[in-house]
Amino acid sequence: MAANSPSPLPTFDCVILAAGAGRRMGGIVKQFETVNGAEIYQHAIAAFAKHEQCGQIILVVPQAELAMLQQRHKGEPLTIVSGGQDRHHSVQAGLAALAGQHAPYIAIHDAARPFTPQKVIDDALAALGQGARAVIPVLPVADTIKVIHQDQQIVSHTLDRNQLGRVQTPQFFDADTLQELHHNLQMDESRQNGIVLDDASLAEEAGIDVAVIAGDEQLAKVTWPSDLETLQTTHAHVLKQGQTMTAEYRTGTGFDVHRFTEGDGPIMICGIAVPHDKALDAHSDGDVGIHALCDAIFGALCDGDIGSHFPPSDDKWKDAASDQFLRYAIDKVGSRGARVTHIDVTILCELPKIGPVRDDMRARLAEITGLSLDRVSVKATTTERLGFTGRGEGIAAQAAATICFDTGDSA
Ligand code: CTP
Ligand code: MG
């Protein structure tokens, strides 16, 4: 599915599971939390979308989020379906959504594991190529593992950790084999309420050898609340080192102007209602800061401008709050497998004074974009009473946005 892919036929399709409720997170639906400018499930998709042998991607989501996510990802090469009660029901919903000519292999992946190294995918495909029908990434166990009597909280016995492995996803399968395993599970009345911990366990039960490849700590799953924080630091660390990933950085610029009209403020600038003795002439809320910023982001993506995504001719956007435009632009970046690393807005006007509200604007832009405050800059200048801004006829803003595409593992 990767753009400009030279490979004629995809080798594998991918089902990404994002329909869980996150009970161990205390109800935070973890896959929709933002990390480094994109939601966790978007990072999960991006790792597969950029792999040149990846065909269809099916995203399985909670029923309640289905319509919103389908709207958000409209036009993208992504099929979104709703999941089921347990993880294996969600897998089955994903498998059922694979359309038309499917690839010979299928990857099943937890959206709660946002960072999949390309090497893991390549290793799994190599094992399948050598005849394996099921392949899973596994990490060694460092700690001694004991079996505990749950009711008494005392130790029952100790396991031999050399025989144990920590299993991750993506799990890869021969496509027909996996479809058959799940079909058999669905047909088996006695197992309707049983627990299926992962897909490989179905292969094990059926007597199919499950091949093991090296897992990766980067594949860690967000399970407990503290995992979110760890993830933020781990990912930042990976990017800072610049050793495990190579990256392409792009910067886009944007510019916007709105005319002042008679009327009383406040006027919206960078998501903040700023008191002013004039109103704005605009189709939406006329937030020049956010509009310039959206154009900067679309510029970095080479994906049109704010007018092409939200046509002023469409009444839907009349008086619209501009924060939704910015969220949309950020989502576009995520769905292209990239993330925003820095935004910088300059407001040009004589009045209102920006200084007193500048920090509020930074905080608001950080909130809308999911970026940390140290990646968000707001500046202002007058134009020395020159030109239309100098005469107080209107307000202008220019912006720059930097986005980063991870382009794969470096050697
Ligand atoms: N998952 C799913 N459908 C379900 C249950 C889980 O698609 N009915 C997905 C989750 O969204 C997650 C992955 O399977 O990406 C692994 O599951 P887990 O870590 O257990 O996530 P949750 O089920 O959401 O969390 P918890 O078990 O703490 O409730
Ligand atoms: Mg679960």
Do residue 318 and residue 225 come from a single domain? no
Q: Provide the token pair at 38.
A: 């994109």
Q: Provide the token pair at 285.
A: 């809320």
CATH assignment at residue 250: 3.30.1330.50
Do residue 294 and residue 162 come from a single domain? no
Do residue 254 and residue 396 come from a single domain? yes
Can you give the residue range of the structural domain that contains 278?
246-410
Residue nearest to atom 17 of ligand 1 (CA): 20
Q: Specify burial of residue 259 (Cβ count, 10 A radius: 0-12, 13-18, 19+).
A: middle
In a domain, 4, yes or no: no
Q: Which of 33, 85, 87 to mutate to test the pocket of ligand 1 (most atoms within 8 A of CB)?
A: 87
Q: Provide the token pair at 384.
A: 């020395």
In a domain, 205, yes or no: yes
Could you say which ligand is closest to the alpha carbon of residue 23? 1
The count of domains in the chain is: 2
Ligand 1 binding pocket, CB closer than 6 Å: 17-24, 31, 60, 83-87, 90, 110-112, 221, 223
Do residue 212 and residue 260 come from a single domain? no
Rounded to whole angstroms, the Cα distance separating 307 from 317 reads: 11
Rounded to whole angstroms, the Cα distance separating 68 from 268 reads: 26
Q: Provide the token pair at 343.
A: 């935004």
Could you say which ligand is closest to the alpha carbon of residue 27? 1
In a domain, 102, yes or no: yes
Could you say which ligand is closest to the alpha carbon of residue 89? 1
Do residue 16 and residue 145 come from a single domain? yes
Do residue 205 and residue 301 come from a single domain? no
Q: Which of 181, 216, 240 is the last residue of a domain?
A: 240
Do residue 67 and residue 196 come from a single domain? yes
Ligand 1 mean position to 90 CA, how many Å? 9
In a domain, 365, yes or no: yes
Do residue 102 and residue 52 come from a single domain? yes
In a domain, 3, yes or no: no
CATH assignment at residue 23: 3.90.550.10
- Ion ligand 2 residues within 5 Å by Cβ: 20
Do residue 224 and residue 286 come from a single domain? no
Do residue 304 and residue 342 come from a single domain? yes
Q: Which of 240, 260, 277 is the last residue of a domain?
A: 240
User: pTM value?
Assistant: 0.65
Q: Which of 185, 219, 240 is the last residue of a domain?
A: 240
Using CA atoms in the order 324, 374, 42, 230, what is the torsion angle rounded to 10 degrees?
Answer: -140
In a domain, 6, yes or no: no
Do residue 227 and residue 319 come from a single domain? no
How much is the pLDDT for 236?
58
Chain position carrying tokens 């979104």: 80
Rounded to whole angstroms, the Cα distance separating 120 from 244 reads: 13
Rounded to whole angstroms, the Cα distance separating 63 from 97 reads: 15
In a domain, 182, yes or no: yes
pLDDT tens for each residue of the chain, 411 residues long = 444 444 568 999 999 999 999 999 988 899 999 887 788 999 999 999 989 999 999 999 999 999 999 999 988 899 999 999 999 999 999 999 997 788 999 999 999 999 999 999 999 999 999 999 999 999 999 999 999 987 778 999 999 999 999 999 999 999 999 999 999 999 988 887 778 889 999 999 999 999 999 999 889 999 999 898 888 776 655 544 434 456 789 999 999 999 999 998 899 999 999 999 999 998 889 999 999 999 999 999 999 999 999 988 888 888 889 999 999 999 999 888 788 999 999 999 999 999 999 999 999 999 999 898 999 999 999 999 999 999 999 999 999 999 998 765 443
In a domain, 2, yes or no: no
CA count, 13 A, side-chain hemisphere, 232: 13
Do residue 51 and residue 154 come from a single domain? yes
Please report, as a single letter, which amino acid is at residue 102: H
